[in-house]
Amino acid sequence: MSKVINDQDINRIVWKACDTFRGVIDPSQYKDYILTMLFLKYVSDVNKEKRKEYLKQYKGDEARTDRAMKMERFVVPANSYFDYLYEHRNEANVGERIDIALADLEEANREKLTSEDGSGIFRNISFNSSNLGDAKGKNTRLKNLLIDFSELDLTPSHLSRKDIIGDAYEFLIANFASDAGKKAGEFFTPAEVSTLIAKLTKSEPGARIYDPTCGSGSLLIKAAREVESNNFSLYGQEANGSTWALAVMNMFLHSYDNATVRWGDTIRNPKHKEGDALMKFDTVVANPPFSLDKWGADEAANDQYNRFWRGVPPKSKGDWAFISHMIESAYEGKGKVGVVVPHGVLFRGSSEGKIRQRTIEDNMLEAVIGLPSNLFFGTGIPAAILIFNKGKAEQTDVLFIDASKDCEPGKNQNKLRDADIEKVVKTYNKFHNGDLLQGIAEDKYSYVASFDEIKENEFNLNIPRYVDTFEEEEEVNIPAVQDEIEKLEGELKEVQVEMEEYLKKLDF
């Protein structure tokens, strides 16, 4: 009997497999090969176990078993099973065999593993690529990769817990992100930030949840886990083809088989529609690319969905374009939006200032939360979270939180702790429930501003205008400092005299 597989087993094998590619391809590309192989191994092992169960149930009847297998989550062609590839690991065309296996798996599951235009989730990856080295070196690497993954038995009955594969996938994406430098921000939002946004926008059972720039899908998954039932639906869109593929696999590995993740540019070509209008959602969350240049301003003025009626953002900074899309995608009268933004969104003027003013006047902004610096992959700048609520009704106040100092400092990256997240959420919930009055909610941490105050500040949302974070310097005791200086000068003279004596003895 195979041993029970736990998180450490999976992580150990995957990091061992990473050694196959070190020095050959960029670390940011490891994820495409490693995570694809993990997905293939998982799908293969799940189907292999199901086939055994059906053969036992049908007393060895192959025909009935084959019919039953066609109704499973995935249809796996014979040449797409991991075991088939492992058996042919010594063949000269092993890379080509893996590519064919992936293509056939896509074709057999077109509805699940291809985009609207027919492009499959594996289209951007080739195990037969010359990027993996010359023929001999490539074959050796792929053979070792298959050997490494053969050590993992991912059949459900041998896993230590239900969510282990999905959690391992998330863990690995996070670790690949830490090695990917500036490219990491394209596919991953730090887990703690995703958790915070998910808690601030906590969805009710039955909710439609949407992320228009979903990356690898981590934020959507965090939002799903905050729903206190299995009654919800997930929707996402991602512009980068490789990252879209990660998101699709991520959803299946977390058993969110009904999630709908589309590939395409959300601003230029939103894919989630009902008829000719944008689809509406209860919860919209995102960590869009910061200040994206060339986001589509030329087309925005004539936007067929009328998303930019409050104004068109500057063509060199797309932050308010994504915010506008998110707000227009939320249900009227009840939809909530949680979005990560650079601080410039809070105070920049010109067209952005006008859009910001109109949004505040429409009474949708509920909270502005400043985060610590150096939380995000690829940038050390501090960011903020904006919460919009299209169901604020008569409440016109806005909560400001300065959480910029609350984190665990790290050598390369800072991290939000559970206590930091809980403090923000607790403060927000008090405000949301009407338990915080206008004025200082917590000294040097939070403040409830009235609409009139924000208007007096010309709709500038810069957090220090509302939350006083000034720390008085300790009063200096001048006489004591002077005494200390005189004492040190006396000690210095004594040392100089001693040095002169030593130099004389050495005939200097």
Tens digit of each residue's pLDDT (9 = 90 or more) over 427-446? 999 999 889 888 888 999 99
Q: Is 472 a member of any domain?
A: no
pLDDT-derived band at 422, boundaries 50, 70, 90: very high
Integer Cα distance of 340 and 79 in angstroms: 44
Q: Is 245 a member of any domain?
A: yes
User: What's the confidence (pLDDT) of residue 1?
Assistant: 43
Picking from 110, 135, 164, the residue at the C-terminal end of a domain is 164
User: What's the confidence (pLDDT) of residue 507?
Assistant: 64
For residue 185, give both structure tokens: 């921000």
User: What's the confidence (pLDDT) of residue 178?
Assistant: 65
Q: Are residues 140 and 288 in the same domain?
A: no
Q: Are residues 379 and 482 in the same domain?
A: no
User: What's the confidence (pLDDT) of residue 508?
Assistant: 56
CATH of the domain at 138: 1.20.1260.30
Q: Are residues 158 and 233 in the same domain?
A: no
Q: Are residues 406 and 483 in the same domain?
A: no
Could you tell me if 367 and 392 are in contact, meaning their C-beta atoms sit under 8 angstroms apart?
no
Local structure of residue 351 (DSSP, 8 states): H
User: What's the confidence (pLDDT) of residue 181?
Assistant: 52
Q: Is 372 a member of any domain?
A: yes
pTM of the full structure: 0.88
Which residues, at least 6 apart from 173, have a Cβ–Cβ distance to it below 8 Å? 31, 35, 187, 188, 216, 218, 246, 250
Q: Are residues 482 and 363 in the same domain?
A: no
Q: Are residues 148 and 187 in the same domain?
A: no
CATH of the domain at 297: 3.40.50.150
Integer Cα distance of 291 and 342 in angstroms: 8
DSSP string, 365-378: EEEEEEPPSS-STT
Q: What percent of the chain has pLDDT over 90?
A: 67
User: What's the confidence (pLDDT) of residue 367?
Assistant: 97
User: What's the confidence (pLDDT) of residue 474?
Assistant: 64
pLDDT surpassing 80 at residue 3: no
Q: Is 175 a member of any domain?
A: no
Q: Is 351 a member of any domain?
A: yes
Q: Is 470 a member of any domain?
A: no
Tens digit of each residue's pLDDT (9 = 90 or more) over 154-196? 988 888 777 888 888 888 887 776 665 555 455 568 889 999 9
pLDDT-derived band at 475, boundaries 50, 70, 90: low
Q: Are residues 392 and 491 in the same domain?
A: no
For the chain, give the mean pLDDT: 90
Q: Is 397 a member of any domain?
A: yes
Q: Are residues 263 and 391 in the same domain?
A: yes
User: What's the confidence (pLDDT) of residue 485?
Assistant: 84
Least confident segment among 230-234, 393-397, 485-489: 485-489
Integer Cα distance of 434 and 83 in angstroms: 59
For residue 374, give both structure tokens: 């150096």
Give the Å distances, CA to CA, from 405 to 280, 376, 382, 398, 409. Answer: 36, 15, 11, 21, 10
Q: Are residues 31 and 160 in the same domain?
A: yes
Integer Cα distance of 364 and 310 in angstroms: 13
Domain that holds residue 499: 477-508
Q: Are residues 344 and 248 in the same domain?
A: yes
Q: Are residues 361 and 244 in the same domain?
A: yes
> What total number of domains does the chain contain?
3
Q: Are residues 440 and 481 in the same domain?
A: no
Q: Is 217 a member of any domain?
A: yes
